[in-house]
């Protein structure tokens, strides 16, 4: 970002340069010797080196290339989730969707065969794990495997916020249990072991049971107390009060309250008078803000049948500092550059973490098993 500001170049100019220098076009055809020669303009970039050679603008008769103001490198999309297994760090989870009418036994058998084939082609340092760590085995010998899904997957089939987790615990056959004789007893021991984690809410359920509850009421718990209203602060307060009232009811277990507020935010509040003075509009400012931090796709690089998005955004070191947000330059119609901090106030605050609705009405839920 320092290189951009030093040369007076905005992220919008970089975006426009990349967008206009990665395309193909047809130009009709030329008739020659009874043949038609079709005209094709080939301007697609082939890789990072081509991107680095793109000219953003000319200053004092000298071209400023992408390589002068940016680092072009392979990267990854923003993450909103993760998968861990057996306390051994992050893993990769694949979900198999069975077609309607298919035989589940045949599908599972074929999947296992295919996984075995894939395993043979993996590098030596990549391998599958089917056992739990010794510590888990010692404390809960009934546990066969633990997989934790945090937040939302790349394909959000079951979207969750980043502070929510699904912990999938597979158990050994009941005849091999030693520390508990029933599922409820084992669940109570799990709760006791996890009670050392502050501010955690635990809800025990089973996959099919959970899905049926969601289909029927939209809530995973067995009993759902829904509170409707427009004010999120009032809903959050009522949820906490309801939890306090029912936590001593005999048989009430796994009480959970929707976390609808408390999401940390950097709130950018625009000064409309200053924006009007500079001849800008909020839509353009929001686009620059989104492009600089979330990243915007400006085109694609093709490698055979594979395609890779070209994404423009600020480097990580600049995205982690509020001063970088304040110093973000914007183009004005008169040709001047103005920092975002001149047009808006930026403050750390807390906002809505989740908004759920039933029949278009806002609601929050207290779940009870």
Identify the domain containing residue 293 by its residue range. Answer: 2-74+264-352
User: By CB neighbour count within 10 A (0-12 exposed, 13-18 middle, 19+ buried), where does 27 fall?
Assistant: exposed
In a domain, 276, yes or no: yes
| Selection from 147-156, 159-168, 225-234 with the highest mean pLDDT | 225-234
Helix axes 11-20, 282-293, angle to 10 degrees: 80
| Residue 297 shares a structural domain with residue 343 | yes
| Residue 133 shares a structural domain with residue 63 | no
- CB–CB of 341/329 below 8 Å? no
Mean pLDDT of the 207-218 span: 78
Among 61-65, 261-265, 268-272, name the one with the lowest average pLDDT. Answer: 261-265
Mean pLDDT of the 351-368 span: 87
| Residue 167 shares a structural domain with residue 151 | yes
For residue 127, is pLDDT > 60?
no
Reduced to 3 states (helix: H, G, I; strand: E, B; else coil), residue 297 is strand
Identify the domain boundary among 200, 234, 256. 200
Q: How far is residue 117 CA from its own chain's centroid?
A: 31
**Cα–Cα distance measured from residue 362 to residue 356, given in angstroms and rounded to the nearest whole number:** 6
Q: Which residues contact 325 (CB under 8 A, 6 or more apart)?
A: 266, 268, 293, 340, 341, 346
Mean pLDDT of the chain: 85
Portion of the chain with pLDDT greater than 70, in percent: 95
| Domain CATH code at residue 28 | 3.30.2090.10
| Residue 329 shares a structural domain with residue 304 | yes
pLDDT score for 255: 87
In a domain, 19, yes or no: yes
Rounded to the nearest 5 degrees, what angle is found at the Cα of 209, between the Cα atoms of 205 and 212?
135
**Cα–Cα distance measured from residue 194 to residue 184, given in angstroms and rounded to the nearest whole number:** 15
| Residue 316 shares a structural domain with residue 331 | yes
In the numeric block, the tokens 């589940």 are attached to 104
| Residue 99 shares a structural domain with residue 193 | yes
In a domain, 236, yes or no: no
Q: Which band of pLDDT confidence, cut at 50, 70 and 90, is reported for residue 268?
A: very high
Portion of the chain with pLDDT greater than 90, in percent: 26
| Residue 105 shares a structural domain with residue 174 | yes
Can you list the pairs that 141-145 forms with residues at least 24 positions away whose Cβ atoms lie under 8 Å? 141/172, 141/176, 141/177, 141/178, 141/179, 142/171, 142/172, 142/176, 142/177, 142/178, 142/179, 142/180, 142/186, 143/169, 143/170, 143/171, 143/172, 144/170, 144/171, 144/172, 145/85, 145/86, 145/169, 145/170
For residue 284, is pLDDT > 60?
yes
| Residue 14 shares a structural domain with residue 109 | no
| Residue 23 shares a structural domain with residue 96 | no
| 5-20 tens-digit pLDDT | 888 888 889 999 999 9
**φ, ψ for residue 361 (rounded to 5)?**
-100, 135
Identify the domain boundary among 200, 223, 248. 200
| Residue 40 shares a structural domain with residue 104 | no
In a domain, 90, yes or no: yes
pLDDT score for 63: 93
In a domain, 290, yes or no: yes
pLDDT score for 279: 92
pLDDT score for 305: 86
- CB–CB of 260/353 below 8 Å? yes
| Residue 32 shares a structural domain with residue 112 | no
327: its two tokens: 């110093």
**Cα Rg of the chain (Å, integer):** 28
Is the sign of the CA dihedral 173, 174, 177, 183 positive or negative?
positive
In a domain, 220, yes or no: no
Q: How many domains would you assign to the chain?
A: 2
| Residue 63 shares a structural domain with residue 99 | no
**Cα–Cα distance measured from residue 307 to residue 160, given in angstroms and rounded to the nearest whole number:** 28
For residue 139, is pLDDT > 80?
no
Identify the domain boundary among 157, 175, 200. 200
Mean pLDDT of the 301-320 span: 87
Q: Which band of pLDDT confidence, cut at 50, 70 and 90, is reported for residue 219?
A: confident
For residue 263, is pLDDT > 70?
yes
Mean pLDDT of the 274-278 span: 93
pTM greater than 0.85 (yes/no): no
For residue 276, is pLDDT > 90?
yes
**Cα–Cα distance measured from residue 180 to residue 188, given in angstroms and rounded to the nearest whole number:** 10
For residue 128, is pLDDT > 70?
no
User: By CB neighbour count within 10 A (0-12 exposed, 13-18 middle, 19+ buried), where does 67 fall?
Assistant: middle
Identify the DSSP state of 90: B
pLDDT score for 280: 92
Mean pLDDT of the 319-337 span: 85
In a domain, 18, yes or no: yes
Q: Which band of pLDDT confidence, cut at 50, 70 and 90, is reported for residue 138?
A: low
Q: Which band of pLDDT confidence, cut at 50, 70 and 90, is reported for residue 134?
A: very low
In a domain, 37, yes or no: yes
């Amino acid at each position: 970002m320092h290189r951009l500001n030093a040369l007076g170049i905005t992220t919008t100019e970089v975006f426009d340069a990349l967008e206009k220098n990665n395309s193909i076009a047809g130009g009709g055809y030329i008739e020659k010797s009874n043949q038609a020669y079709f005209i094709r303009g080939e301007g697609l970039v082939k890789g990072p080196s081509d991107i680095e050679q793109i000219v953003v603008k000319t200053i004092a008769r000298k071209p400023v290339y992408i390589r002068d103001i940016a680092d072009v490198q392979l990267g990854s999309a923003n993450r909103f989730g993760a998968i861990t297994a057996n306390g051994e760090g992050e893993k990769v989870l694949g979900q198999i969707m069975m077609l309607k009418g298919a035989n589940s036994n045949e599908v599972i058998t074929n999947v296992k065969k295919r996984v075995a084939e894939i395993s043979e082609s993996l590098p030596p340092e990549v391998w599958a794990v089917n056992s739990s760590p010794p510590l888990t085995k010692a404390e809960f010998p009934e546990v066969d495997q633990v997989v934790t899904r945090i937040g939302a997957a790349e394909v959000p089939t079951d979207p969750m916020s980043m502070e929510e987790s699904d912990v999938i615990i597979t158990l050994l056959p009941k005849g091999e249990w030693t520390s508990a004789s029933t599922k409820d007893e084992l669940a109570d021991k799990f709760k006791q072991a996890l009670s050392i984690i502050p501010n955690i809410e635990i809800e025990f359920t089973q996959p099919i049971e959970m899905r049926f509850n969601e289909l029927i009421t939209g809530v995973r718990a067995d009993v759902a107390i829904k509170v409707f209203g427009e004010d999120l602060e009032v809903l959050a307060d009522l949820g906490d009060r309801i939890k306090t009232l029912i936590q001593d009811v005999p048989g009430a277990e796994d009480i959970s309250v929707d976390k609808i507020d408390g999401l940390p935010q950097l709130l950018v509040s625009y000064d409309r008078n200053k924006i009007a003075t500079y001849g800008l509009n909020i839509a353009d400012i929001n686009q620059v803000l989104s492009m600089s931090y979330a990243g915007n796709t400006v085109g694609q690089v093709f490698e055979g049948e594979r395609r890779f998005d070209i994404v423009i955004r600020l480097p990580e070191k600049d995205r982690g500092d509020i001063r970088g947000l304040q110093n973000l330059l914007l183009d004005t119609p008169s040709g001047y550059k103005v920092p975002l901090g001149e047009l808006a106030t930026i403050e750390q605050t807390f906002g809505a973490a989740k908004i759920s609705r039933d029949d278009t009405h806002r609601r929050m839920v207290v779940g009870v098993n």
